[in-house]
Structure 1
C-alpha cells in the first residue's frame, strides 16, 4: 500500500548541510512523501536555501517561526501541516540512504508497532567513523539507561503520535530531551516500538560530541530518567541505574571519549559500508 509519508524537519542555521539532507530525500526510491520544514529563527542562509527547494518541488512545504521556539514547538508546528499516514523525522544535517523510506514503510505495514527506527552510520567531516544500532524491540526498561530510538531515524503512525499529544513543550524537553519524553508517552500507552537492524541514515556526530553535554544537562537528564521510572513503575532497585548521568560527570573526559569512540566502532569494521555519491569513507578514527 502506497501510504503517504510526512517528513518533519526543524531547521536552524544549517546552511552548510541542508542541501545534502534535502537531496537525500528527493532521491528516495519511495516517492509518496511530503517534506514539512520549519525554520526556527536562522541567522544564516538556511531559509533562502530551503526556499529554493520549495519553488521546484511541490511536495516540500516551508514554515517560519516568528521567534525561536526550540525543537519541540517547531516539530509540533510542522505536524499541523502534515497529511501523511506515517510521520517521519529527519534533521537538516543528516542524510538518508536511498531506500530508507521504502524500508520503513514496508516494515511498518507488516509489523504491529507504533513506531520504527533504525541504526545509523556516524559521520563527521572526515567521513564515516562508527555505527550505532538500537535493539530490535526495546522494552520500557531501556528508559532507565538509554532511549529506544535515535530520534531522526524514527517513523511513527500518525494516529499514535496524535494520541500521545505530539511533543511536550516544556523546560525539560527544551533541554534536548524532547524525544526521550515522547518515547515515555508511547510506553505509557502500551505501544510496541521496533528498530530495523541496520543503519538507514548517516547521522552527523563528531567523536567529541559527549563534550556538549553540560553538567546542567546531566542533572536534567537524571531528573527525567527518575520521572520515567516512576511513571513506568520501574522497580525501585533498578531505579538506582537512572543516576548514571550524575556518575558520568565524575569520569575523566579522556576516558569518556575512548569509551564513546570504542562503542561506536564496535563491529563497524566488519560491516560493508554503503556509500552515497562517493562522499563517505571509513574514518581514520
Structure 2
C-alpha cells in the first residue's frame, strides 16, 4: 500500500459527495481511503456507506460519540497501512493528479518528510476566489513556521513514521504538528502548483472558531520555543479547557474580538461584524483597523466579492 488518505467528517453532507469523488477518481490508484465519520447527525454516514459498497479502497471508522478532528485523525493514522499519509477535508476537492504529483515528489526527495501544495481558494459554490502561492524552499518554510502557519493542512502528504497529532490541541493541531516536526529536524516543503480546491466554508472550524484556533496556535508556538530553549515543552501541564471554555459570544477580550471580527468579515457575516465592532469600540476605543472593518461591512456583498482576492491572498 503506497498512500493512506485520511478524511474526518462531521456533518459534511453539503460537499462530501464531491470531495470523496475527487479522491476516488485520482490518476494514482494505489491507495486506501480512510474516512472517519465523527458521529454526524446529517446524511454524511449514508453518503459514505454508499461509496463503501462501490469501492473496496474505502475503510470506514464510525465514531459512536463525537471525538473531534484531532482524535479522529489519530484513529485514521493508527489504522493506516500506507507508506505515505495524505490529508483531505470533507469540503475540499483534490485535483486529478494531486496524489501522483506528491507521491513522485516524496519518492524523489528522500530528505523531505512532508510536502504540501498550493491551493485554489473557492467559495461555497466552487467559484475560484484566488490562488495561494506557498513558500516552497525548506529554509523559507522553517523561518515562516516559527512566526505563523504556512502549510495548508488539507494539502499535506507525509511519511508514515509514527508521528501523531497531540490530542490536547483541539484546534491548530496541524500547526503544533508542523512545529514538532521542525523540532525533530524534519524537512518540509510545498509544491507551488495548486493541488486542491480549498473551500472558504463559513461552518468550517478554521472560520467558525477563529479566536480559539488562534489561542491554540499561540500555545503551539510557546511550546516550540520551550523545546528550542530547554529541549522539552510543558505540554503535559497544558489545560486546553482554559481556551475551550472561553465564552466567545460574550467575551470582551481584545484578542478574541479582533479575531472574531476578522473571521466574520471574511465569511460575509456583516451584521455580526457590526455587532462585534461596536463592542470593541465600547471597550477599547476607535481603532483604525477595526473601524475599517465596520465601515466596509456596510458596502454590501457585491463590493465584498470584488475584494475577496485581496483578503485571501
TM-score by length of 1: 0.78
Supply the distance in 1 between the matched residues of 2:119 and 2:210 (Cα, whole angstroms): 24
Q: Gapped runs of 5+ residues in structure 2?
A: 231-254, 260-286, 297-303
Secondary structure of the 1:181 match is helix
Q: Does structure 1 residue 232 correspond to structure 2 residue 224?
A: no
Q: Give the alignment of 1:19-168 within 5 angstroms.
A: 19-111=17-109, 112-126=111-125, 127-136=127-136, 137=138, 138-159=140-161, 162=162, 164=163, 166-168=164-166
Secondary structure of the 1:108 match is helix
Q: Which residue of the partner structure matches residue 233 of structure 2?
A: none
Question: In 2, are the aligned partners of 1:207 and 1:261 still within 8 Å (CA)?
Answer: no
Shift of 1:49: 0.4
Judging by fraction of residues, say which structure has more helix: 2
Q: Which residue of the partner structure matches residue 11 of structure 2?
A: 13
Supply the distance in 1 between the matched residues of 2:3 and 2:222 (Cα, whole angstroms): 34
Aligned length: 246
TM-score by length of 2: 0.71
Shift of 1:253: 7.5
Q: Which residue of the partner structure matches residue 269 of structure 2?
A: none
Secondary structure of the 2:13 match is coil
Secondary structure of the 2:79 match is coil
Shift of 1:227: 2.6
Q: Which residue of the partner structure matches residue 252 of structure 1?
A: 290
Choose between structure 1 and 2 for higher RCO, CA contacts under 8 A separated by at least 6 residues. 1
**1:114-158 deviation per Cα after TM superposition (whole angstroms, max 9, x unaligned):** 011001101113411012232002443323332241001000000
Q: 1:214 to 1:110 in 2, by over 3 A?
A: closer
Secondary structure of the 1:93 match is coil
Shift of 1:181: 1.0
Secondary structure of the 2:312 match is helix
Shift of 1:193: 0.2
Max Rg structure: 2
Q: Gapped runs of 5+ residues in structure 1?
A: 235-244, 266-285
Secondary structure of the 2:310 match is helix
Shift of 1:207: 8.6
Q: 1:246 to 1:14 in 2, by over 3 A?
A: closer
Q: Does structure 1 residue 196 correspond to structure 2 residue 191?
A: yes
Secondary structure of the 2:112 match is coil
Question: In 1, are the aligned partners of 2:88 and 2:155 still within 8 Å (CA)?
Answer: yes
Supply the distance in 2 between the matched residues of 1:10 and 1:211 (Cα, whole angstroms): 17
Q: CA RMSD in A?
A: 2.7
Secondary structure of the 1:36 match is strand
